[in-house]
Amino acid sequence: MRYCTAPWRLAYVQKALKMKNCVFCQALKKKDDRESLILYRGRHNFVIINRFPYTTGHLMVAPYRHLASFETAPREIVAEATELVQLAIRILKKSYRPHGFNVGLNLGQPAGAGVTGHFHLHIVPRWPGDSNFMPIIGQTRVFCEDLKATYNRLKPYFAREEKKQEK
Protein backbone atom coordinates (compact mmCIF):
# COMPACT_ATOMS: atom_id res chain seq x y z
CA MET A 1 0.00 0.00 0.00
CA ARG A 2 1.22 3.49 -0.84
CA TYR A 3 0.64 6.48 1.44
CA CYS A 4 0.35 10.09 0.45
CA THR A 5 1.17 12.71 3.07
CA ALA A 6 -0.12 16.27 3.34
CA PRO A 7 2.67 18.04 5.26
CA TRP A 8 1.30 21.54 4.52
CA ARG A 9 -1.67 20.76 6.80
CA LEU A 10 0.43 20.05 9.91
CA ALA A 11 1.17 23.70 10.71
CA TYR A 12 -2.52 24.58 10.40
CA VAL A 13 -3.69 21.65 12.56
CA GLN A 14 -1.11 22.42 15.26
CA LYS A 15 -2.11 26.10 15.25
CA ALA A 16 -5.81 25.25 15.35
CA LEU A 17 -5.34 22.97 18.35
CA LYS A 18 -3.74 25.84 20.28
CA MET A 19 -6.37 28.44 19.31
CA LYS A 20 -8.29 29.92 22.20
CA ASN A 21 -10.98 31.37 19.95
CA CYS A 22 -13.10 29.25 17.65
CA VAL A 23 -12.67 30.25 13.98
CA PHE A 24 -16.38 29.70 13.32
CA CYS A 25 -17.54 31.73 16.33
CA GLN A 26 -15.07 34.49 15.38
CA ALA A 27 -16.38 34.57 11.81
CA LEU A 28 -19.94 34.88 13.10
CA LYS A 29 -19.02 37.82 15.36
CA LYS A 30 -17.76 39.89 12.45
CA LYS A 31 -20.40 42.07 10.86
CA ASP A 32 -18.94 41.70 7.36
CA ASP A 33 -19.86 38.33 5.82
CA ARG A 34 -17.58 39.03 2.85
CA GLU A 35 -14.58 39.46 5.17
CA SER A 36 -15.59 36.34 7.10
CA LEU A 37 -16.24 34.45 3.84
CA ILE A 38 -19.77 33.53 5.02
CA LEU A 39 -21.86 32.79 1.95
CA TYR A 40 -25.20 31.91 3.51
CA ARG A 41 -26.96 32.14 6.88
CA GLY A 42 -29.71 29.65 7.58
CA ARG A 43 -31.86 29.36 10.69
CA HIS A 44 -29.42 27.12 12.60
CA ASN A 45 -26.31 26.86 10.39
CA PHE A 46 -24.20 28.86 7.98
CA VAL A 47 -22.08 28.14 4.90
CA ILE A 48 -18.52 29.44 4.86
CA ILE A 49 -15.54 29.13 2.52
CA ASN A 50 -12.62 27.21 4.01
CA ARG A 51 -9.65 29.59 4.42
CA PHE A 52 -7.31 26.61 4.06
CA PRO A 53 -9.00 24.73 1.21
CA TYR A 54 -8.04 21.41 -0.33
CA THR A 55 -9.42 22.61 -3.67
CA THR A 56 -11.09 25.73 -5.05
CA GLY A 57 -14.69 25.90 -3.82
CA HIS A 58 -14.02 23.99 -0.56
CA LEU A 59 -16.99 24.97 1.64
CA MET A 60 -18.07 24.15 5.17
CA VAL A 61 -21.42 24.09 6.93
CA ALA A 62 -21.35 24.82 10.67
CA PRO A 63 -24.00 25.47 13.30
CA TYR A 64 -24.30 28.88 14.95
CA ARG A 65 -24.09 27.14 18.31
CA HIS A 66 -20.61 26.11 19.44
CA LEU A 67 -21.20 22.34 19.48
CA ALA A 68 -18.48 19.71 19.49
CA SER A 69 -20.76 16.68 19.39
CA PHE A 70 -22.48 15.91 16.10
CA GLU A 71 -24.21 12.82 17.45
CA THR A 72 -26.01 14.74 20.22
CA ALA A 73 -26.74 17.91 18.24
CA PRO A 74 -30.43 18.86 18.08
CA ARG A 75 -32.29 17.28 15.18
CA GLU A 76 -33.21 20.62 13.58
CA ILE A 77 -29.53 21.65 13.42
CA VAL A 78 -28.46 18.36 11.81
CA ALA A 79 -31.42 18.38 9.38
CA GLU A 80 -30.70 21.92 8.20
CA ALA A 81 -26.95 21.21 7.97
CA THR A 82 -27.72 18.31 5.64
CA GLU A 83 -30.00 20.51 3.54
CA LEU A 84 -27.25 23.14 3.29
CA VAL A 85 -24.76 20.48 2.15
CA GLN A 86 -27.23 19.58 -0.61
CA LEU A 87 -27.62 23.26 -1.52
CA ALA A 88 -23.84 23.77 -1.58
CA ILE A 89 -23.40 20.78 -3.89
CA ARG A 90 -26.06 22.09 -6.29
CA ILE A 91 -24.43 25.53 -6.36
CA LEU A 92 -20.91 24.15 -6.78
CA LYS A 93 -22.12 21.96 -9.66
CA LYS A 94 -23.52 25.04 -11.43
CA SER A 95 -20.57 27.31 -10.75
CA TYR A 96 -17.53 25.02 -11.05
CA ARG A 97 -18.79 21.84 -12.73
CA PRO A 98 -16.71 19.45 -10.61
CA HIS A 99 -16.61 15.77 -11.50
CA GLY A 100 -17.17 14.63 -7.91
CA PHE A 101 -17.24 15.63 -4.25
CA ASN A 102 -15.82 14.67 -0.90
CA VAL A 103 -18.35 15.42 1.83
CA GLY A 104 -17.78 14.66 5.48
CA LEU A 105 -17.02 15.37 9.09
CA ASN A 106 -13.72 15.13 10.93
CA LEU A 107 -14.77 14.55 14.54
CA GLY A 108 -11.92 14.85 17.03
CA GLN A 109 -8.25 15.61 16.62
CA PRO A 110 -7.23 12.00 15.81
CA ALA A 111 -9.76 12.06 12.95
CA GLY A 112 -8.09 15.11 11.41
CA ALA A 113 -10.29 17.85 12.84
CA GLY A 114 -8.47 21.17 12.81
CA VAL A 115 -11.26 22.75 14.87
CA THR A 116 -12.34 20.20 17.47
CA GLY A 117 -14.82 22.18 19.56
CA HIS A 118 -17.24 23.26 16.80
CA PHE A 119 -18.37 20.51 14.44
CA HIS A 120 -18.64 21.33 10.76
CA LEU A 121 -19.23 19.51 7.50
CA HIS A 122 -16.83 19.80 4.57
CA ILE A 123 -17.92 19.96 0.94
CA VAL A 124 -14.88 19.55 -1.33
CA PRO A 125 -15.39 19.66 -5.11
CA ARG A 126 -13.07 17.30 -6.99
CA TRP A 127 -11.72 16.98 -10.53
CA PRO A 128 -9.52 14.34 -12.12
CA GLY A 129 -5.91 15.33 -11.54
CA ASP A 130 -6.59 17.91 -8.81
CA SER A 131 -4.13 16.05 -6.60
CA ASN A 132 -0.60 16.35 -7.92
CA PHE A 133 3.03 16.50 -6.88
CA MET A 134 3.11 20.21 -5.93
CA PRO A 135 1.94 19.82 -2.31
CA ILE A 136 4.28 16.93 -1.62
CA ILE A 137 7.41 18.11 -3.40
CA GLY A 138 7.02 21.88 -3.21
CA GLN A 139 4.74 22.10 -0.13
CA THR A 140 2.59 24.36 -2.30
CA ARG A 141 -1.09 24.17 -3.23
CA VAL A 142 -2.13 25.53 -6.61
CA PHE A 143 -5.61 27.06 -6.94
CA CYS A 144 -7.31 28.53 -9.98
CA GLU A 145 -8.57 31.57 -7.99
CA ASP A 146 -8.15 33.31 -4.65
CA LEU A 147 -10.70 33.18 -1.83
CA LYS A 148 -12.27 36.57 -2.65
CA ALA A 149 -12.84 35.48 -6.25
CA THR A 150 -14.44 32.27 -4.97
CA TYR A 151 -16.68 34.34 -2.70
CA ASN A 152 -17.66 36.65 -5.57
CA ARG A 153 -18.42 33.68 -7.81
CA LEU A 154 -20.58 31.80 -5.27
CA LYS A 155 -22.33 34.61 -3.36
CA PRO A 156 -24.89 35.43 -6.10
CA TYR A 157 -26.09 31.81 -6.10
CA PHE A 158 -26.49 31.78 -2.32
CA ALA A 159 -28.12 35.25 -2.38
CA ARG A 160 -30.82 33.87 -4.72
CA GLU A 161 -31.47 31.10 -2.21
CA GLU A 162 -31.75 33.63 0.63
CA LYS A 163 -34.38 35.57 -1.35
CA LYS A 164 -36.36 32.35 -1.90
CA GLN A 165 -36.31 31.72 1.87
CA GLU A 166 -37.61 35.23 2.60
CA LYS A 167 -40.75 34.64 0.51
What is the average per-residue pLDDT within 10-21?
A: 60
pLDDT at site 133: 45
- Provide mean pLDDT across the span 146-162: 91
In a domain, 1, yes or no: no
Mean pLDDT along residues 11-21:
60
Q: Tell me, what's the pLDDT at 10?
A: 65
Q: Amino acid letter at 59?
A: L
Q: Is residue 3 part of a domain?
A: no
Reference 158, options 93, 98, 87; nearest CA is 87
Q: Which amino acid is at 61?
A: V
* Residue 148: CATH number of its domain: 3.30.428.10
pLDDT at position 11 is 63
β-pairing, 59-63 vs 100-105, is: unpaired
Owning domain of residue 16: 8-166
Q: Looking at residue 140, what is its pLDDT?
A: 44
Is 31 part of any domain?
Answer: yes
Which pLDDT value is given to residue 142? 47
Q: What percent of the chain has pLDDT over 70?
A: 74
Give the model's confidence band at 1: pLDDT under 50 very low, under 70 low, under 90 confident, else very high: low
What is the tens place of the pLDDT at every residue in 101-125?
Answer: 989 987 767 766 677 788 899 999 9
Average pLDDT over residues 138-159: 77
Residues making up the chain, counted from first to last: 167
CA distance 34 to 38: 6
Q: Is 2 within a domain?
A: no
Q: Which residues are marked as active site?
A: 120
Total structural domains within the chain: 1
Looking at mean pLDDT, say which of 1-10, 76-85, 134-143 comes out highest: 76-85
List phi, psi (to 5°) of 116: -90, -25
Q: How confident is the model over 47-105, as pLDDT tens digits?
A: 999 988 888 899 999 999 999 889 999 999 999 999 999 999 999 999 999 999 989 98
Considering only CA atoms, which of 15, 75, 54, 31 is closest in space to residue 135? Answer: 54
Long-range Cβ contacts of 70-75 (<8 Å, 24+ apart) = 70/105, 70/107, 70/119, 73/119, 74/44
Instruction: Classify residue 106: in a domain, yes or no.
Output: yes
16 has a pLDDT exceeding 70? no
Count Cβ atoms within 10 A of the Cβ of residue 98 and give its class: 0-12 exposed, 13-18 middle, 19 or more buried.
Answer: middle
